[in-house]
Amino acid sequence: MPRKKISTTVYITPEQAERLKLLHDRTRVPVAEYIRQGIDLVLEQYRGALPGQLSLDDLGRREREG
């Protein structure tokens, strides 16, 4: 079952819009899906800055980096 989505507005550059349109034209994947995937990548990259419980992997990574 598809997950519920929330409508929002994002502002992108004309170059970003053109490249996303070209990608969509070639793959038929909706531009919104690429934007959601990009958001997921950023959230994963900065997950340590988000509140919440750390996993054991996160704890081990912090000990190695710290």
**In the chain, domain spans:** 14-65
**pLDDT in the model for residue 61:** 73
Instruction: List b or e across 1-15, with b for residues whose CB sees 16 or more CB atoms inside 10 angstroms.
Output: eeeeeeeeeeeeeee
- Decide if pLDDT at 28 tops 80: yes
The fraction of the chain above a pLDDT of 70, given in percent, is 88
- Confidence band of 3 (pLDDT split at 50, 70, 90): confident
Q: Which of 62, 66, 64, 2 is nearest to 32 (CA)?
A: 2
Residue 2 has pLDDT above 90, yes or no: no
State yes or no: pLDDT of 50 exceeds 80. Answer: yes
